[in-house]
Chain A
Amino acid sequence: MGCNAIRKQIDEADRPNAFSFEVSGHVASCEGCRGFADERARLRAMISSEARVQAPAHFDAALHARLEEIRSRRAFSWFAPAALMRMSAAAAAAVIVVFVAQYALLPGNPTPSNNPPNDDRASVNPAEPETPVQPTPSDEGGVAAAPPTIDVITRPPSRTNRRPSSRIDDLAALDPHLVIVRGERGDREVPIFTVSVGAQPHLYGTSSAPVARLAKASF
C-alpha cells in the first residue's frame, strides 16, 4: 500500500492514531506519513476541543411560546389569504360541478341525428314571438312524410316588445319562460323555469307525443 492510500486511511480513521496493523506498520517506518498522522491528530484534537455551547436556560420556555403562537395562528388560518384563495377555488369548482351535472342530468338527450330544430328555431326573436317553428323531417325520428301537428316555440312572457337580444339573454332570465304548444286543439302555454347558469333546454314537440320534449341543450 502506497503513502497516498495510507494517508487516506489515516484521515478516515474513526479516532486519531487508531490505525489498522498495516497502517501502523507503515507509519512507524515512513517519516512523511508519521508527520501527516501527527498533524491530523493535532488538528482533530484542536477542533474537538472547542467548547460546546449550551442551549440557554429559557430555551424550553421560548420554544413553548413559539409553539403556542403557531397553534393560535393555525386556529385562524381560514382567514389567511391563502385560505381565502382555497375557498374561492372550491366555490369555483362547485359551480363547475353544478354546471356539468345540470348538463349531464338533463333528460332525453337525443343523438345528433335526431336533433330537432336547430338553434335558430329554438331561439326567441322578440320581434316575432309567435312565429311557429317547423320541425325538420329528422324531428320525427327520421319519418320524413309525417307532417308535424304540434309546434313548440319558447318566449319570455313579458318580453315581446323589448329590444332584440340574444337567446342567451332571454334564457338567462330568472322568470318563467313559456312554451307554446300549438296543436290541433289550439295553443297551450306551459311555463318553464330556466336557470341562468348551465345548460339550457331546447324543447320541441312531435305529433306522436302530446308533450314538449327536450331536443338538445345549449349554453
Chain B
Amino acid sequence: MSTVTHQAQAVGLGNSRSVEAASDHELIAAIRDGDEVAFQEIVRRYRNPITNFVYRMIDDYDRSVELAQETFIRIFTSASRYQANYSFSTYIYRIASNLAISELRRRKRRRFVSLFSPFVNDDGETVEIDPPDLSPRIDETMIEEERRRAVSRAITSLPEKYRSALVLRDVEGMSYDQIAEVLSLSEGTVKSRINRARNLLKEKLSAYI
C-alpha cells in the first residue's frame, strides 16, 4: 500500500488536514462511516507493531501475520462499537493480546510440544530448556545470533500471563497503566507479573547476562 496522502475531506476530517495528520480517534470515526482510506491509514500505523507484538507472544511469524490481520479485521468490523474511553493503541493491543493468548491456549490444548520442552513448571506451563552453547566461537555474528535466539526462546517459554506483560513493557515500551488497561488487570498485578517474568528470564539467560 502506498503512503496515504488523501485529503482529509475523504474521511470527513476537514479540508485542511491530511489523513496522516488525523488522530487515531478521528480515523476510527471515519472508519465507522465506512471510509476505507482511514482504515488503510490505521493499518499503516499499526501493522508492524502489532505483528511484532504477536510474534513475540507466539513465536510463529506466519501465524502472527494472520493474527495481526485478524486484529485489523476486527477493528474494521466493530468500529461502530468502539468507545474512546482509552487510547486507540490500548484498544488495538487488547484485541491483539486476546487473539495471541487464545492462540497460545489453543496450541496448549493441542499439546504442541517442542523438542526443547520436556519439562513442566509448578504452574503447569511448559518450560523450555535451552542450554547455552559455551564452546568457543570464532564468528561474532554467530554468537550474537545465538544470543538473540536464546532470548527469543526464553521469552516464548515464559507462562503466558507473564509473557504478555513483559513483552508489552520491555519490547513495546508501554507504561504500567497502559499495560493494565490492555490486559484488564490492576497496575499492581502488572508490576508483579513483570518482576516475576524478569526473574524467570534472569535464570534462563544467566549465561548471557
Determine whether the beta carbon of B205 is less than 8 Å from that of A43. yes
Interface string of A52-71 (1 = CB under 8 A from B): 11111001101100110010
Q: Is the CB of A11 within 8 A of B170?
A: no
Q: Provide the residues of chain A in CB contact with B48, threshold 8 Å.
A: 52, 54-55
- Count of B interface residues, CB-CB < 8 Å: 38
Tally of contact residues, A, Cβ under 8 A: 27
Q: Which residue of A lies closest to B68 (CB)?
A: A55
A14 at interface by CB-CB < 8 Å: yes
Bound form: Cα–Cα A66–B69 in Å: 8
CB distance from A40 to the nearest CB of B (A): 7
* Complex CA distance for A14 and B43, rounded to whole angstroms: 28
A46 touches B151 (CB 8 A): yes
Residue of A nearest to B71 (CB): A63
A7 — nearest CB in chain B belongs to which residue?
B195
Interface of B is mostly: helix
Of the stretches B20-28, B72-80, B97-105, B126-134, the one at the interface is: B72-80
Dominant secondary structure of chain A at its interface with chain B: helix
Q: Is A51 an interface residue (CB 8 A)?
A: yes
Asked if residues A48 and B73 are in contact (CB atoms below 8 Å), the reply is no
Given contacts A11-B195, A48-B171, contact A62 B69 (CB under 8 A): yes
Beta-carbon contacts under 8 Å, B151-209 to A: 151-152, 155, 166, 170-171, 173, 175-176, 191, 194-195, 198, 201-202, 205, 208-209
Assess whether B93 is interfacial by the CB under 8 Å rule. no
Q: Do the beta carbons of B64 and A51 come within 8 Å of each other?
A: no
Is residue A44 contacting chain B, with contact meaning CB distance below 8 A? yes
6 A–B contacts, CB within 8 A, in A order: A43-B198, A53-B64, A59-B43, A59-B47, A59-B69, A66-B69
